[in-house]
Homo-oligomer: A and B are copies of this chain.
């Protein structure tokens, strides 16, 4: 069944680590980073991935596509405080669907997992239409990375 097959995802070894220093303005009255800012950290990780693997916002845009996020989730294990240094590990998750899936793991300096999360993006073309098939430029990228 096609729809089942499209739901099959597999973790790849395309992973990028990105370092972040927690900003004062990201903390809240509890003295810890407000939970919503982890989506900013995920974005930092995703953009770092895009720069390194040539598949960022500007590359997509140049090919006539944007990739809005349609789903995101975050699970928190440990709090973060002002000045903390963390590493965001962003891993590309392969899927036969016309989607971009990333998983994130944020680690503190002791190597402990602070949080994990996932985002799902779709492709929308210049006419504001959702692409039901994988755009050519992304297929080419997948081919180059042995993901097809």
Q: Within 8 Å CB of A71, what residues of B?
A: 73-76
Q: Within 8 Å CB of A23, what residues of B?
A: 40, 43-44, 47
Tell me the A42-68 residues at the B interface (CB within 8 Å). 43-44, 47, 57-58, 66, 68
Given A39-B39, A82-B29, A24 and B57 contact (CB-CB distance below 8 Å): yes
* A140 lies within 8 A of chain B by Cβ: no
User: What's the interface size class on A, roughly?
Assistant: 20 to 34
* A34 lies within 8 A of chain B by Cβ: yes
Q: Within 8 Å CB of A82, what residues of B?
A: 29, 57-58
Q: Within 8 Å CB of A15, what residues of B?
A: none
